[in-house]
């Protein structure tokens, strides 16, 4: 690497017991960022280039071109004003002499500070920057203290705390060891190699020469990204060797990378008879339990092969493969046993057992929840035109797989196992599909249910949970949401909007509350109101992530938003409208109208008295409002708010003329009231879509 005078690369390596693999990458990135920030604050680095390294046994970072000493600091001490520092004859006053003595200098050595507010005596001293070797140790400690470690541990007889015990520390500035002690370990240049391969100690000659000796002497690939690429290439090659292609899940790849220091992929196989077990259970066994990559054919069907990544290159790879095969076959045998046992009883026979499974201590069992979902599904199905018998049947069975052995062993397969068992029982395909889909979306941004019955069940299940938990007083507080109600509410909105189901959230909440009332759990109006508000409050989070502006969202919310699909259409129309050439003028006019109406202390008539209209501009506005109201009514009825706003934009000339030529607050009370009524009707025209007075800075186009 290039060298800058007085600068050199800095290497910091913290050697530990095996670090938590799920947190390794986050720890590495946070450590690198913390070191860079601390060095910058200390004045020995300026926006430095960092390279971070991470293996199961080390966190390391190299910072390019760190200065060998900190920046010199100029200290400035202000003294008396210049006018008070010298007398009429130009001799120093007692104030000037005293200030000079306190600074340890003569008056003649003081300088003058000139500002807009006057002139003062000032004493300036330059404090040399501290040597980097004195600053680096504290910087390391600062970075370690800020690491996102939820629970730290102690080891030995010391009091130091870290995520895992620390055994060695390498700190090199160029070729020089930086003497310091961190977490009870003294710095040096000796790193450690792989536990089972290579040399146990590796001497690091300089900060720029780190990866090579570790790789050649210690059998360690220090760079996380390099190891990840190696694993991906090895697994891909072995997948082809197995006659298909390996499925490389990014989360699994990152986890496996964090488990090894020198990866060696191994191809294994399992008994093809296990392929009769639902594929998802086999994949879960391999991916989630054993950290294996599975292999599929060109059609996506599972092949009886797996790929594991070992941390050693064995002299007897067949033994490694056989050992992993033995472990996996035992695991798959368990899955096969659970599947075959579950398949002996139909789902419908399992629903009775739901009486013994608690949904919530205040809301009863899953059997009660199932009954409520059935009733609510029937109502929603009728409202959206979904097949009611399919929805009711699927609702009656949707929770039955929770008491199966397969879901007990593989909890993440709830719904999926319900689909398999329903098909095994001979249930209609639409019923089986709805059972699986009612859990969708499983996470933020996840796939939505595609079938009509799946959409109905997904809504009914979430609404029952939302309303019930609000009745039970379990609404989220702050960042805590143990029941995932924010995710459930977002799911409701996404299904209604993206699947174009034009339903009213308040009405859905009311229907869900009726189900609890039938069970003797009466909900107060406040619980229903709070639940409805909570769901609608998710608009802002959802649409902000989709790129809509806060003022656009606020403008539509002000006009009412209990129908998510309708809200979506209005919001998109308002977002387009703000670029219309007439939008700035109409927005300003709406703000003026809202302010006038808000400040008016008198009762505003609902109707306009045509006899009181005397000015040509107010007559023109009255006629334009009447004509425009009729013109936009069909568009609003169809939900075509973009067309309605384009029509409303045509009001701009008459609105501008009205405000230019008419005094709204006329001294004549009857005339004034009539003009306020006129503005009220104009305001209501816009509020039928959104309160555009809330729009801020506008970008306009040709409209």
Q: What is the pLDDT of residue 347?
A: 94
Give buried/exposed letters for 454-465 (b at 16+ CB in 10 A, else e): bbbbbbbbbbbb
Q: What is the pLDDT of residue 1?
A: 36
Burial of 500 (0-12, 13-18, 19+ CB in 10 A): exposed
pLDDT tens digits, one per residue of 48-90:
889 999 999 999 999 998 888 877 677 888 889 888 888 888 8
**Integer Cα distance of 466 and 460 in angstroms:** 10
Residue 50 in tokens: 């960092």
**Integer Cα distance of 673 and 584 in angstroms:** 27
Q: What is the pLDDT of residue 679?
A: 86
What residue has token string 């009255």?
A: 622
Distance of CA 436 to the CA centre of its chain: 25
CB atoms within 10 A of CB 621: 25
**Integer Cα distance of 323 and 62 in angstroms:** 39
Fold category of 357-536 in CATH: Hypothetical protein af1432 (1.10.3210)
Q: What is the pLDDT of residue 437?
A: 97
CATH 1.10.730.10 fits 564-694, yes or no: yes
pLDDT tens digits, one per residue of 576-622:
988 888 788 778 888 888 888 877 777 777 788 777 788 888 889 88
CB atoms within 10 A of CB 403: 19
Q: What is the pTM of this model?
A: 0.80
**Integer Cα distance of 672 and 654 in angstroms:** 19
CA torsion 524-526-529-535 (nearest 10°) is -100
For 60, residues 6+ apart whose C-beta sits below 8 A from its C-beta are 11, 12, 13, 14, 52, 53, 54, 170, 210, 222
Q: What is the pLDDT of residue 304?
A: 97
For 661, residues 6+ apart whose C-beta sits below 8 A from its C-beta are 615, 616, 617
CB atoms within 10 A of CB 592: 15
pLDDT tens digits, one per residue of 625-647:
889 889 889 998 888 988 888 88
Q: What is the pLDDT of residue 697?
A: 58
For 449, residues 6+ apart whose C-beta sits below 8 A from its C-beta are 434, 437, 438, 440, 455, 457, 458, 495, 499
Q: Running along the chain, 703 residues long, what does each successive block of 10 average in pLDDT?
A: 64 96 94 93 86 95 89 80 86 90 88 86 81 89 92 88 95 94 94 92 95 95 96 97 96 97 96 95 94 96 96 88 95 95 94 95 94 97 96 97 94 95 96 97 92 97 96 87 94 96 96 90 81 94 93 90 93 89 81 82 77 84 89 90 88 86 83 84 86 71 41
Q: What is the pLDDT of residue 258?
A: 97
**Integer Cα distance of 341 and 329 in angstroms:** 18
């Amino acid at each position: 690497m290039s060298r800058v005078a007085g600068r050199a690369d800095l290497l910091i390596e913290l050697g530990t017991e095996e670090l938590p693999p799920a947190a390794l990458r986050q720890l590495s990135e946070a450590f690198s960022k913390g070191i860079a920030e601390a060095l910058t604050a200390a004045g020995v680095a300026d926006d430095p280039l960092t390279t971070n390294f991470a293996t199961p046994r080390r966190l390391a970072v190299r910072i390019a071109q760190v200065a060998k000493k900190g920046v010199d600091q100029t200290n400035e001490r202000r003294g008396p004003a210049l006018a008070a520092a010298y007398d009429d004859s130009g001799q120093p006053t007692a104030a000037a002499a005293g200030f000079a003595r306190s600074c340890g200098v003569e008056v003649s050595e003081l300088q003058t500070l000139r500002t807009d507010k006057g002139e003062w005596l000032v004493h300036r001293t330059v404090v040399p920057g501290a040597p980097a070797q004195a600053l680096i140790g504290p910087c390391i400690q600062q970075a370690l203290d800020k690491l996102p470690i939820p629970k730290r541990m102690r080891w030995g007889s010391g009091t130091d705390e870290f995520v895992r015990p620390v055994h060695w520390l390498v700190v090199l500035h160029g070729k020089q060891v930086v003497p310091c002690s961190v977490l009870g370990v003294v710095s040096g240049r000796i790193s450690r190699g792989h536990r089972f391969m290579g040399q146990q100690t590796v001497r690091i000659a300089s900060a720029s020469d780190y990866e090579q000796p570790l790789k050649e002497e210690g059998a360690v690939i220090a760079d996380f990204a390099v190891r990840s690429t190696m694993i991906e290439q090895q697994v891909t090659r072995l997948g082809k060797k197995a006659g298909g292609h390996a499925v490389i899940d990014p989360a699994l790849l990152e986890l496996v990378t964090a488990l090894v220091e020198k990866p060696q992929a191994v191809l294994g196989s399992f008994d093809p008879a296990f392929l009769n077990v639902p594929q998802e259970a086999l994949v879960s066994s391999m991916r989630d339990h054993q950290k294996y990559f599975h292999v599929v054919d060109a059609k996506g069907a599972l092949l009886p092969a797996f790929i594991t990544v070992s941390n050693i290159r064995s002299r007897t790879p067949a033994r490694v493969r056989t050992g992993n095969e033995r472990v996996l076959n035992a695991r798959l045998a368990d899955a096969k046993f659970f599947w075959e046992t579950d398949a002996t009883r139909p789902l419908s026979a399992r629903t009775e057992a739901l009486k013994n499974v608690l949904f919530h201590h205040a809301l009863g069992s899953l059997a009660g929840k199932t009954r409520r979902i059935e009733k609510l599904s029937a109502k929603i199905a009728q409202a959206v035109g979904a097949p009611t018998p399919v929805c009711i049947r699927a609702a009656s069975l949707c929770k039955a797989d929770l008491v199966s052995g397969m879901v007990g062993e593989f909890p993440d397969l709830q719904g999926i196992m319900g689909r398999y068992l329903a098909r095994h029982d001979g249930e209609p395909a639409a019923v089986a599909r709805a059972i699986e889909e009612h859990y969708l979306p499983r996470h933020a941004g996840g796939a939505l249910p595609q079938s009509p019955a799946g959409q109905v069940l997904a809504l009914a299940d979430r609404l029952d949970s939302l309303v019930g938990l609000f009745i039970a007083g379990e609404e989220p507080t702050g960042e805590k949401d143990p029941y995932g109600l924010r995710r459930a509410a977002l799911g409701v909105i996404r299904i209604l909007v993206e699947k174009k189901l034009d339903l009213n959230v308040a009405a859905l909440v009311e229907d869900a509350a009726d189900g609890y009332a039938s069970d003797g759990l009466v909900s107060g109006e406040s619980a229903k109101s709070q639940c409805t508000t909570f769901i609608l409050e998710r608009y802002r989070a959802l649409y902000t992530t989709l790129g809509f502006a806060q003022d656009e969202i606020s403008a539509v919310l002000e006009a009412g938003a209990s129908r998510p699909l309708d809200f979506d259409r209005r919001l998109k129309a308002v977002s387009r409208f703000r670029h219309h050439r007439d939008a700035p003028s109409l927005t300003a006019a709406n703000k003026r109208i809202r302010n006038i109406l808000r400040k008016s202390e008198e009762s505003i008539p609902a109707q306009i008295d045509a006899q009181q209209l005397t000015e040509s501009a107010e007559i023109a506005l009255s006629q334009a409002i009447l004509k425009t109201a009729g013109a936009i009514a069909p568009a609003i009825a169809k939900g075509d708010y973009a067309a309605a706003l384009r029509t409303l934009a045509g009001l701009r000339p008459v609105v501008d003329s009205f405000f230019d030529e008419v005094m709204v607050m006329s001294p004549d009370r009857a005339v004034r009231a009539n003009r306020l009524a006129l503005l009220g009707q104009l305001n209501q025209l816009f509020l039928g879509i959104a309160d555009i007075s809330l729009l801020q800075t506008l970008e306009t186009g040709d409209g």
